[in-house]
Structure 1
């Protein structure tokens, strides 16, 4: 597994990471044993970068990672997030980037993970009532105290990144980016490149769409994030399935899997991109990790673009509720 830089200080991680949202039940129930098998597979594959958050399963994802580590603090480079409040009873979200709340949540995350310092700490969503410059001062304080190693933001606009970077070093920005979600090409990938910031694409295989077997919305478990998602609702879903079949056929012709080809495409978009496919199953991670070994060419990139040109997807990437807190910039 090759490495890419995740922090401005030169910290390197595997070029493919593991998103751990599904450890918290985002796509249906899971078990600690299943998640631990996936973490073991990650180590075997050379995947040493994990991404989680305090609200993934209301702490469940962090707790599962912490129980796997059991004091073995150097197995992975770990990123977690704060800044979202979630009502346990209703699941409703609000956003809080104030210093006291971020400190309380960071301390709770460290306890669940069993760590004294987390390698990368993201603001999960921006609080519109707190200037990003003030948020940066809070995060720089945590860094000076040795509680976080690096600073990141999730789903922000390029203009916000530049404001934050004027205060201090921003190490990473995380946004959805894949063959059917390409908004970051309209400024964010370029801003990260210019500022020396790692860009971390989540959902690079389209929440299971760019795989050998398409997801079946009728089988989604209660609480599955995709149930209200416009791209998984009819008639959008059928249109999207039909378009992706051409991509699956290309992957077969190239002797690889759709997931591996989607990851290889993402890696080829720039040397500062570190995709984090999310899964709770070891076999799915192995499939995604195979993308690192695929030899991408300009001809294959052009063929993919011909099948799935920018803007081809039917339906918005988020429902109105899911979109809350995401900064728009185009």
Structure 2
């Protein structure tokens, strides 16, 4: 698989990575065996970057990955995150970027993963009242101690990135980016390119909207992240399915799948863009990997833009609760 530079860290990783939130069941139940089969498939495909977090299932995702790595060491570059805190009784969340909290959570992540360091450590959400420059100093200490390779931030604004990068080079920014979530094009994709920072795109398949089979609310479980997401509430869901249908037809006309075409479109946004589709299925991951081999010409990109122009989606990408901690910048 094509390799891309992970910021200025010196690491090269596969053009697509694997998002591992799904290992904790946000879109439906799964098993450790199924997740391990997906990781084995990732290795076979040459996917080398895996992305997780301490709060994915409150440690479940990291534990599942750690159990795999103990039997299959090497190959993968690991990214994890911290900074989101959840109340155990109410489920309400807040953000803590203090040195003590981040250190404690990083130590816990390393233990669950069964490793002595991770290649990339993100601040999952910024704590608004704590200067980002101070957070960078904390991350630099972890780096000096050998606990992390590089560091990054999730869902921050370009202005915050520039403040952090002025203290020390940021390795990566992670934000939602896909054909129906294109806010990063209003400054963040460009800022990352200018600064030599990798842009890691999560949910590149629109939480399933670009899958061959359209999402069906009747199949959503009670814990499904999409159950309260505005784009998956009616009448938005039906409207979105109808708008996306011609894109799926176009993918078939090109002899590929809508999943592969959506991934290929993202890869065309710049050499610093690295999509991390999330899946618990080896079959779905194989489909995603096809996108890394699909090179789109200007006519094809123009046709995709005609079919799905920026802003086509019905509904906001997050509910009010889901958007907590995301920095706006436009």
Shorter-chain TM-score range: over 0.9
- Deviation per residue, 1:235-263 (Å, 9 max, x gap): 11111010000000000100000000000
Q: Is the 8 A contact 1:83 1:124 kept in 2?
A: yes
Structure-2 residue corresponding to 1:76: 76
Q: Is the 8 A contact 1:208 1:215 kept in 2?
A: yes
- Deviation per residue, 1:37-64 (Å, 9 max, x gap): 0000001111011000000000000000
Structure-1 residue corresponding to 2:174: 174
Unpaired stretches in structure 2, ≥5 consecutive residues: none
- In the TM superposition, 1:38-49 aligns within 5 A as 38-49=38-49
Distance, in Å, in 1 between the alignment partners of 2:266 and 2:240 is 19
Structure-2 residue corresponding to 1:252: 252
TM-score normalised by the chain length of structure 1 = 0.99
Structure-2 residue corresponding to 1:64: 64
Q: Is the 8 A contact 2:197 2:272 kept in 1?
A: yes
Structure-1 residue corresponding to 2:311: 311
Distance, in Å, in 1 between the alignment partners of 2:114 and 2:7 is 22
- Deviating above 6 A after TM superposition, structure 1's stretches of 4 or more consecutive aligned residues are none
Distance, in Å, in 2 between the alignment partners of 1:71 and 1:32 is 14
Q: Secondary structure at the residue paired with 2:274?
A: coil
TM-score normalised by the chain length of structure 2 = 0.99
Distance, in Å, in 2 between the alignment partners of 1:224 and 1:90 is 18
- In the TM superposition, 1:296-307 aligns within 5 A as 296-307=296-307
Structure-1 residue corresponding to 2:115: 115
Q: Secondary structure at the residue paired with 1:248?
A: helix
- In the TM superposition, 1:1-330 aligns within 5 A as 1-70=1-70, 72-330=72-330
Q: Secondary structure at the residue paired with 2:37?
A: helix
Aligned length: 330
Distance, in Å, in 2 between the alignment partners of 1:280 and 1:315 is 26
Note the C-alpha offset of 1:20.
0.2
Distance, in Å, in 1 between the alignment partners of 2:42 and 2:68 is 12
Aligned-residue RMSD, C-alpha: 0.8
Note the C-alpha offset of 1:293.
1.1
- Deviation per residue, 1:66-101 (Å, 9 max, x gap): 000006542200000000001233322110000000
Q: Is the 8 A contact 2:21 2:278 kept in 1?
A: yes
Q: Is the 8 A contact 2:7 2:272 kept in 1?
A: no
Distance, in Å, in 2 between the alignment partners of 1:228 and 1:195 is 36
Distance, in Å, in 2 between the alignment partners of 1:303 and 1:41 is 32
Note the C-alpha offset of 1:21.
0.4
Unpaired stretches in structure 1, ≥5 consecutive residues: none
Distance, in Å, in 1 between the alignment partners of 2:10 and 2:34 is 33
Q: Is the 8 A contact 2:200 2:275 kept in 1?
A: yes
Distance, in Å, in 1 between the alignment partners of 2:217 and 2:69 is 34
Q: Is the 8 A contact 1:82 1:105 kept in 2?
A: yes
Distance, in Å, in 1 between the alignment partners of 2:78 and 2:162 is 24
Note the C-alpha offset of 1:221.
1.1
Distance, in Å, in 1 between the alignment partners of 2:259 and 2:235 is 24
Distance, in Å, in 2 between the alignment partners of 1:149 and 1:72 is 21
Distance, in Å, in 2 between the alignment partners of 1:27 and 1:87 is 22
